[in-house]
Amino acid sequence: MPANTKWILKNGSIIDGVNDEVLENAYIKVENGKISEVQQGEPRETEGFEIIDCTGKHILPGLIDCHVHLVWNGSADPQSVIKNEENDRIALEAYKHALDTLKLGVTTVRDLGAPDRTVLHVRNVIDSGLLEGPTIIASGAPICMTGGHVYYLGYESDGPDEVRKNTRRVLKEGADLVKVMATGGIYTKGEEPGSVQLTIEELSAAKEEALKKNKKVSAHADGIEGIMNCLEVGIDTIEHGIYADRQALEIMKNQGTFLVPTMAVMRQLISSPDIPAFALEKAKQVVGPHFSMLQEAVQIGVKIATGTDCGSPLTPPRYYYDELAIMHEAGMSEMEVIKASTAVAAECLGIEDQRGSISPGKFADLLIVDSNPLNDLNRLRGDKLVMKNGVLVS
């Protein structure tokens, strides 16, 4: 169907991403790629519309992944796959991974680290309409200390002045947000997840420059000292948050800071001896504390947005749905998990006025699933119709 096709999805049960109540026996009108009407009952004025009968089915917003690395393929050691490749090939591979993600029902992703402008170019081509793909919110190259966490993806920076300059650089290149590396991590040799990397002065410089361009800042932050540094300077989203304690989580709740847990990748990292040995040993140490932190964050009421780190070792895009299961296991209800993957995630990305919920004026990013995911989130893994900007995904 052409991009300007008008649709009516009728007789469905709508989970809109915002409200706790399911809108039964309802219809959605889609015109010019956007939702024009959402009502219960039988639609009127149907001439010129293609009809999709959703009897017995549930309709929900397209899902959002707030933490991916599209340049990585989710193999046991994905950086080794691209380390000697030219950027044009890396960009093509990133597009392939983006398309795989869309076909799963994830219609928007936030990419938090890619060499140079590779993913920025992929985003631009998709946004132009030349190629089908998910909406990509991209940080471009992350800001890290020299030799710091995943330095091979980022712009190495030492001292506030270099951080400031490289933050300006990545924003000039077209980044939608800034990604900083506040601590060490798992998938870089010779560092510990709890160790501080960028200093509080360096983090402040990045945050100041982002504010000048009305952009958010996301921080890789595993250890408690690095997490507290991020909270002090007002970083918008904490990625992973492995060793966040109750005090840190309470601050996050009070400040409205988002937590993007990425638990699925941690469990994958300990699932196979094929990943690099240094990463396997570190992952074994953190997977327990990480899950305990997530449980406490749920209990406290921190804003949690779904993110997977897909692309990382042994975590190709299909593991998105494992993240939903882990969030449920940690104490979130099925409805809370869906909200974290739609409206809350959209707020985390700063696109809540465009995507993440089913309401008039929003882009028509929609899933039509055969049975009720509120009874079992695993039903989202099954066959489904995916609509992106009002176009059915083949």
Assigned domain for 365 exists: yes
Q: Are both 302 and 177 inside the same structural domain? A: yes
174 and 77 inside one domain: yes
Residue-range definition of the domain harbouring residue 383: 7-61+356-392
- Domain co-membership, 213 together with 168: yes
One domain, residues 172 and 238: yes
**CATH code assigned at 134:** 3.20.20.140
The answer to whether residues 242 and 105 belong to one domain is yes
User: Is there a single domain that holds both residue 46 and residue 116?
Assistant: no
User: 287, 298, 172: which is closest to 240 by C-alpha?
Assistant: 287
308 and 366 assigned to the same domain: no
Indicate if 17 and 135 belong to the same structural domain. no
User: Are residues 189 and 48 both part of a single domain?
Assistant: no
**Is 120 inside any structural domain?**
yes
pLDDT tens across 141-150, in order?
Answer: 999 999 999 9
If asked whether residues 256 and 284 sit together in one domain, one would say: yes
Count of domains observed in the chain: 2
Residue that finishes a domain, picked among 349, 364, 383: 349
pLDDT values of the chain reduced to their tens digit, one per residue, 394 residues: 566 799 999 999 999 999 999 999 999 999 999 999 999 999 999 999 999 999 999 999 999 999 999 999 999 999 999 999 999 999 999 999 999 999 999 999 999 999 999 999 999 999 999 999 999 999 999 999 999 999 999 999 999 999 999 999 999 999 999 999 999 999 889 999 989 999 999 999 999 999 999 999 999 999 999 999 999 999 999 999 999 999 999 999 999 999 999 999 999 999 888 888 898 899 999 999 999 999 999 999 999 999 999 999 999 999 999 999 999 999 999 999 999 999 999 999 999 999 999 999 999 999 999 999 999 999 999 999 999 999 999 8
**Same domain? 168 vs 269:** yes
